[in-house]
Every structure is written in C-alpha cells, then in structure tokens.
Amino acid sequence: MPRLQRFRHMGLMSMLAMMAVVSALRSSDVGTDGPMYARLLRHPGSCRRYGFETGYCLVNNAMHWLGSYTVLLVLENMLLYCAIGLFIYRYIEERWWGFSCLMVFGTRMFFMAMNVSRQYIAVALCMFAFMLYVRKRKTLALAVVLLAVTFHITSIVMLLIPLVEWWIRHARRFGLQSTMLIAVAFMMQFLDYGGIISWVAGFIPKYRHYQHDSLMGNEGTSVFWVLYTLAVSAAYIIYVWRKRRMAGCSEPEREISRSDTSSLLAGALIYVVMTDAFAGVGTLSRMAVFFTMFFVWLLAALLSTLGKRMQLAVELAVLAASLFMCYRQVYVRGNFGVLPYKMFFG
C-alpha cells in the first residue's frame, strides 16, 4: 500500500476513534437528554412508561445489570462510528476522507449524537442496512431497518430510499423534477405549521408531551435558516446539473443511474428536502439525521467534479461555513447541551 494511502487510512481511523472516545467517555450530564437516559438506566422500569421503543428498553434493561451508563455509551459509539467509518470507506473517494470527517463536525452530527443517543443507535443500524441494500441483500437490509425502528420509530423514513432511487433511475427529467421538489420544500419553511403539528401530536399519547415543546416552534424564516437551506439546496442542484452537463445529455447519465450512486443520491435528496421543509422545527428536522452522511457524500462527489483550483476554494469555503454554523449552534447558542463537556470520571 502506497505511503499516502496508508496515511489516509490511518487518518480516517484516528479521527473517528477520537470522536468515539470523546463521545463515549462523556458524563451523563453532557447532552440535553443525557440525564434522562442515565435515570432510565438506574430505573429500567420507567423505560416503557416514557413510551420508548422496545429495542432500546431491552438494551437499557441489560445495561442496568452492568450498572454503568458508560458501558452503554461505549457500545453505542462503537456502533455509530464503525458505521460512519465503513460508509466513508465504501462510498467516498479516498482523497475526501479527511474532509468527510470534518463534516461530521460541520453538520453537527458529532454533537447531536451526544444528545439524542437513542436515535443515533438507530442511525447506525440504518447505515448498515443501506450498505446491505446496495449489496442486494434487501431482505436482510429490511430486517435491520425494522430492528432500528425498535430503537427509534423515525427509522421508518429509510424505506423512502428505494422509492426515490426508482424515481431517479426511471425519470426522464429527474434534474428538473428534483429541483422543483426542492423549491417547494424550501418555500415550506416560510409556513408556520408548527402549531398544526403540535395539535396533531396532542392526539398521539407517545408524542403528546411535544404539544408545548419549544422545538415545535417554526423558526425557519430566520436569516440563518434561510441561508443554510439555500446552501444545502444549491449543493444538490449544482451537483445534479453539473453531472448532466458533463455527460452531455438530458437523460440520467450512466454514473447517476448506477445502483450505488442512485441510492446515495436518493439519500442526499431526502436530506435536502427534509432540511428545507422542516427548517427550524426541531422535532421534525431530526428525521434528516438518518441521511446526513448521504449529504456528506454529495459534497465530496461535488468537489470531485471541479477543477483543482476550484476544488480547494470550494472545500475551504464549505468547511469554513459549516464549522462557523457549528460554532454558532453549539458554542454560542448552547444547542444540544454538550457544553461544558465533562468526562464520566471528572
């Protein structure tokens, strides 16, 4: 193996290992929901009363006998960062591995995982399910998605990927159609439908507590969210139309219609649509986290279509903008409750 390739492999493993260690060794006070998960571990009988899914409650009960919240975090983060690492290794071009790891921070995935840890167990399982799906192990992939549903019900959104992939591979004007869909989703953020969702949640016992939750408020019309959703939408649209222009035809070109590429593009499109449509409505926008790595793939694929000088400029701009967004959300506004960070033995 050439020296540069060995360096990239070591870099990928080292960066993901550092993220996993920092996340796994955190105190139960880190993360908005951290104290609640720690209480559930001490009182496992409360898990079902909170309305949590069966799979998580079974794991919580098993971890209760070990008597350590940290053991649960270690196992959870091993699962998550192995899934992220394998996804990057299989689908993202080697030269963009470092960029992809930094985007785990830039997309706030690293920080969100320390807050809604139950959902990120499901995210990890769904990434493994996707890898099985691409390898044509569809029955097993479906089984893993259903397993993920027993940890977080929103995992069911992964079943959108085959439907969107079919659309990508068969639509004659997919670029135009997907652009129009994104435009509609972008305009949805200006509709104050948080109140409607809160009203609907009142009829569902499991989600009734969200009725008066601040996360149901629609803040999508803020300048920050408008700029962010514009940037996310632009990245997708530029990639799709640039690939078509490079192919020199109006039909979906060979690379986009390839099984793995069309599946990845389907996930990226779902991420963009959900991010645009649910901007500022925290409880709904969390569904997009299942597709975050697909968007990271999209950014790396977009960079690969550019010339060398443009690649560096766009890469630095994307990193700077995303890390600034991360700084604003995590450090300035204190979202996710991960600061001040403390280790479990501190």
At 250, the pLDDT band (50, 70, 90 cuts) reads: very low
pLDDT at 274 over 80: yes
CA–CA gap between residue 319 and residue 139 (Å, rounded): 38
Q: List pLDDT tens digits, range 96-115.
A: 999 999 999 999 999 999 99
Average pLDDT over residues 227-232: 92
User: Which has the closest alpha carbon to 19: 148, 126, 120, 114?
Assistant: 114
User: Which has the closest alpha carbon to 56: 116, 112, 121?
Assistant: 121
Task: Using the structure block, give the residue that is written with the tokens 């053991």.
Answer: 71
Can you give the pLDDT at residue 279?
81
- DSSP structure class, residue 328: I
Average pLDDT over residues 306-319: 93
216 near 198, Cβ under 8 Å?
yes
92 near 296, Cβ under 8 Å?
yes
User: Whole-number mean pLDDT of the chain?
Assistant: 86
Can you give the pLDDT at residue 194?
59
User: Which has the closest alpha carbon to 209: 59, 23, 50, 6?
Assistant: 50
Q: List pLDDT tens digits, range 289-312.
A: 999 999 999 999 999 989 888 999
Q: Which residues of 291-330 are buried (b: 16+ CB within 10 A; e: fewer)?
A: bbbbbbbbbbbbbeeeeeeebeebbeebbeebeebbeebb
Angle formed at CA 126 by CA 121 and CA 129, multiple of 5 degrees = 135
* Higher-pLDDT residue of 83, 277: 83
DSSP-derived secondary structure for 5-69: HHHHHHHHHHHHHHHHHHHHTB-TTSSTTHHHHHHHHH-TTHHHHTT--HHHHHHHHHHHHHT-H
Top-ranked range on mean pLDDT: pick from 37-41, 47-51, 264-268, 335-339: 264-268
Q: List pLDDT tens digits, range 12-62.
A: 999 999 999 999 999 999 998 899 898 888 888 888 877 889 999 999 999
Q: List pLDDT tens digits, range 132-157.
A: 999 999 999 999 999 999 999 999 99
Can you give the pLDDT at residue 225?
81
Can you give the pLDDT at residue 344?
83
At 64, the pLDDT band (50, 70, 90 cuts) reads: confident
* Higher-pLDDT residue of 237, 283: 237
pLDDT at 213 over 60: no
Q: Residue 129 is inside which H or E element, if any?
A: helix 117-134
pLDDT at 257 over 50: no
pTM of the model: 0.90
pLDDT at 259 over 50: no
Can you give the pLDDT at residue 189?
81
**What percent of the chain clears pLDDT 90, i.e. is strictly above it?**
57
pLDDT at 167 over 60: yes
Q: List pLDDT tens digits, range 112-127.
A: 999 988 999 999 999 9
